[in-house]
């Protein structure tokens, strides 16, 4: 896979590579799911979703600038960039939902499922629904396979 371009240099190329990444990660998720590796598949499908949200966030850069104002110092550099570019480059899980809300539509709705799948990836199935919304691997697999 090609190196991920920095969004502060080339938003169009960044979006293109993120869309490819989403496709590759989802293919890996499907392969893991077919092998019965449900939690591994959950991790890959979550990475695919983050890549997809990152790609679509490029189209909402003006709205996201308002949500993430200011500048960010890059580690190891004296240069500062607009914080919004760092946010869409990294897509921290903690801001995935706000980004999805700005992006809107199905992205916002499916982000909820992606976050549940992410909880399942780390905590596994949970019959009480405290650490994971999925009581067993089969119920998680249905959402991973969407």
**pLDDT on residue 1:** 55
46 within 8 A of 121, measured Cβ to Cβ:
yes
Within a domain: 6? no
What pLDDT score was predicted for residue 26? Answer: 97
* Whole-number pLDDT of residue 39: 96
Q: Do residues 100 and 53 make contact, with C-beta atoms less than 8 angstroms apart?
A: yes
pLDDT at 146: 74
Residue 45: inside a domain: yes
Global pTM reads: 0.91
12-22 tens-digit pLDDT: 999 999 999 99
**pLDDT tens digits for range 49-86:** 999 999 999 999 999 999 999 999 988 888 899 999 99
Is the pLDDT reported for residue 11 higher than 90?
yes
Q: Is position 3 within any domain?
A: no
| Number of domains present in the structure of the chain | 1
Residue 110 has pLDDT above 80, yes or no: yes
pLDDT at 123: 94
Asked if residue 20 is part of any domain, the answer here is: yes
- 38: domain range? 11-144
Q: Establish if 64 belongs to a structural domain.
A: yes
Instruction: Give domain status of residue 5, yes or no.
Output: no
pLDDT in tens, 33-47: 999 999 999 999 999
In this prediction, residues 87-107 reach a mean pLDDT of: 95
């Amino acid at each position: 896979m090609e190196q991920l371009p920095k969004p502060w240099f080339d938003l169009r190329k960044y979006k293109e590579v993120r869309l490819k990444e989403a496709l590759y990660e989802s293919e890996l998720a499907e392969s893991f799911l077919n092998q019965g590796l449900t939690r591994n598949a959950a991790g890959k499908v979550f990475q695919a979703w983050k890549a997809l949200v990152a790609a679509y966030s490029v189209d909402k850069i003006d709205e996201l600038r308002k949500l993430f104002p200011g500048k960010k110092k890059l580690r190891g550099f004296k240069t500062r960039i607009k914080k919004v570019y760092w946010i869409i480059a990294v897509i921290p899980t903690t801001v995935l939902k706000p980004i999805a809300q700005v992006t809107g539509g199905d992205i916002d709705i499916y982000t909820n499922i992606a976050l549940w799948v992410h909880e399942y990836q780390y905590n596994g199935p949970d019959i009480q629904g405290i650490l994971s919304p999925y009581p067993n691997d089969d119920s998680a697999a249905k959402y991973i396979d969407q």
